[in-house]
């Protein structure tokens, strides 16, 4: 009776599902090496016994702000192991949005058994300071989505943390990293801002398509069974997420496609992620795409013939070259009894289709050969749906000519 569950956890496509989780912390942070170096440059003094540092990391959703902070703290602890005791308290201020709750979380991460009921903010920080000095520990406090705390409680906690070493007994016990979507420096008071400094601000841009492809490849290599994916699938996944620049989306698309490929395994189907698995990763995406199919209605008759040729190949292939387009275009023209246009005119139609956002292009090496050529893909539409609409429109469009 439970045979329908047999494919769950079979491991035919997905070998390590935890790698496809958003919260998985990779050993290597791909595509952000320049930002890692920038963050490390803010923490050069932490290598000395009395050194402390601070940084502000801002950027859009999915740009890798949190994973940048987490991997840096992990790598710094390893780098200074045996030289300086480093501890990390990472608090998400969306979940603990008042300064009191944040202070309690910091203290609990350093000492889970420490009581906090009835203690004031000053008493909590005093306890933290005593424990840090008693254990000779340097604490890096990472306040993620810190704008939530600042809106509710202001920056008093930041001010107190920055002043935690302002006496004659201790130096360099706490470093601070603020993470936010917003430009938090604009809302800090002068006293706090002067201690952070504008030069400690690191802006994280959205991921490029190449950066998203690198993330997809890293996750595929670690999570999926070898031979169940190829470079074309990874590029298509990255192009689909490219408009957002959001790493979470590329991981979601890869995970969803892999799950669909896993679920359809029956001993006869292809044991690999296919274009179809990616194009139907979820019903919502398919529905939204169908609502936009009318984008092809304003194409010229020749543009429709060119696009139909592309759709027929991209139903099953991740991408195609301009040479593929020209060959299939000639076949479609013969089918519809039309004279093919010149290569130059064909190129103009392809570029027009690209400007409409229907296809994406990139220049890469020729498959199986030398040199470079234009590769075309369709990351945001279902080729079969577009082809069906074009086949309905073309006879009427050609009859009007």
Residue pair 24/247 in contact (Cβ under 8 Å)? The answer is: no
Q: How confident is the model at residue 172 (pLDDT cuts 50, 70, 90)?
A: confident
Q: Give pLDDT tens digits for 204-251.
A: 999 999 999 999 999 999 999 999 999 999 999 999 888 889 999 999
Please answer whether residues 63 and 207 qualify as being in contact, where contact means their C-beta atoms are separated by less than 8 angstroms: yes
The pLDDT of residue 97: 83
3-state DSSP: the chain helix, strand, coil percent, rounded to 5? Answer: 55, 10, 35
Domains and CATH numbers, the chain: 3-14+207-281 (1.10.8.60), 32-203 (3.40.50.300), 293-399 (1.10.10.10)
Mean pLDDT of all residues in the chain? 87
Give the pLDDT mean for 377-383. Answer: 86
pLDDT tens-place string over residues 281-302: 544 444 444 447 788 988 999 9
3-state secondary structure of 377: strand
Query: Residue 8: what pLDDT?
Result: 59
Residue 169: per-residue pLDDT: 60
Greater confidence (186 vs 95) lies with 95
Average pLDDT over residues 327-336: 94
The pLDDT assigned to 6 comes to 55
Of all residues in the chain, the percent with pLDDT exceeding 90 is 51
pLDDT at 224: 95
The three-state secondary structure class of 158 is helix
- Please tell me the least confidently modeled range out of 192-196, 201-205, 267-271: 267-271
Supply the pLDDT for residue 287.
41
Question: How high is the pLDDT of residue 60?
Answer: 92
The predicted pLDDT at position 290 comes to 46
The whole-number average pLDDT for the span 101-128 is 85
Q: What is the DSSP string of 197-226?
A: -GGGEEE-PPPPHHHHHHHHHHHHHHHBPT
**Lowest mean pLDDT, pick from 74-88, 144-158, 164-178, 207-221:** 164-178
Distances, alpha carbon 375 to alpha carbons 166, 322, 344, in Å = 60, 7, 17
Radius of gyration of the chain (CA): 27
* pLDDT reading at 69 higher than 60: yes
pTM: 0.80
Give the mean pLDDT of 95-102.
90
* pLDDT tens readout for residues 254-272: 999 999 898 887 766 678 9
CB 289 within 8 A of CB 381: yes
Contact present, 151 and 180 (Cβ < 8 Å) = no
Q: How confident is the model at residue 401 (pLDDT cuts 50, 70, 90)?
A: low
């Amino acid at each position: 009776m439970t045979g329908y569950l047999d494919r769950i956890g079979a491991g035919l496509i997905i070998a390590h599902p935890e790698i496809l989780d958003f919260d998985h912390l990779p050993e290597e942070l791909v595509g952000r090496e320049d930002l890692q170096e920038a963050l490390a440059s803010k923490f050069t003094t932490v290598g000395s016994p009395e050194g402390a540092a601070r940084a502000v990391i801002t950027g859009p959703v999915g740009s890798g702000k949190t994973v940048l902070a987490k991997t840096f703290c992990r790598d710094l602890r390893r780098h200074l192991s045996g030289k300086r005791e480093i501890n990390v308290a990472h608090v998400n201020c969306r979940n603990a949005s008042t300064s009191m709750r944040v202070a309690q979380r910091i203290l609990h991460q350093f000492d889970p058994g420490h009581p906090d009921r009835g203690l004031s903010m000053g008493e909590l920080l005093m306890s933290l300071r005593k424990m840090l000095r008693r254990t000779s520990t340097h604490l890096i406090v990472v306040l993620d989505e810190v704008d939530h705390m600042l809106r509710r409680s202001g920056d008093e906690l930041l001010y107190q943390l920055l002043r935690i070493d302002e006496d004659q007994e201790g130096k360099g016990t706490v470093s601070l990293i603020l993470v936010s979507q917003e430009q938090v420096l604009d809302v800090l008071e002068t006293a706090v801002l002067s201690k952070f400094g504008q030069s400690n601000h690191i802006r994280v841009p959205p991921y490029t398509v190449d950066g998203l492809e690198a993330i997809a490849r890293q996750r595929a290599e670690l999570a999926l069974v070898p031979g169940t994916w190829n470079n074309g699938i990874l590029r298509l996944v990255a192009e689909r997420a490219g408009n957002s620049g959001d790493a979470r989306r590329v991981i979601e698309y890869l995970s969803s496609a892999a799950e669909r490929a896993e679920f359809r395994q029956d001993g006869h189907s292809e044991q690999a992620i296919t274009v179809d698995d990616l194009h139907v990763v979820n019903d919502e995406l398919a529905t939204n795409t169908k609502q936009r199919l009318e984008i092809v209605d304003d194409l010229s008759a020749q543009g429709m013939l060119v696009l139909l040729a592309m759709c027929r190949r991209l139903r099953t292939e991740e991408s195609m070259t301009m040479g593929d387009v020209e060959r299939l275009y000639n076949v479609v023209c013969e089918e519809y009894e039309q004279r093919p246009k010149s290569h130059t005119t064909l190129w103009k139609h392809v570029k027009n289709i690209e400007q409409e956002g229907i296809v994406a292009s990139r220049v890469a090496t020729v498959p199986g050969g030398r040199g470079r050529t234009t590769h075309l893909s369709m990351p945001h539409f279902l080729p079969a749906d577009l082809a069906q609409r074009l086949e309905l429109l073309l006879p009427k469009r050609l009859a009007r000519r």
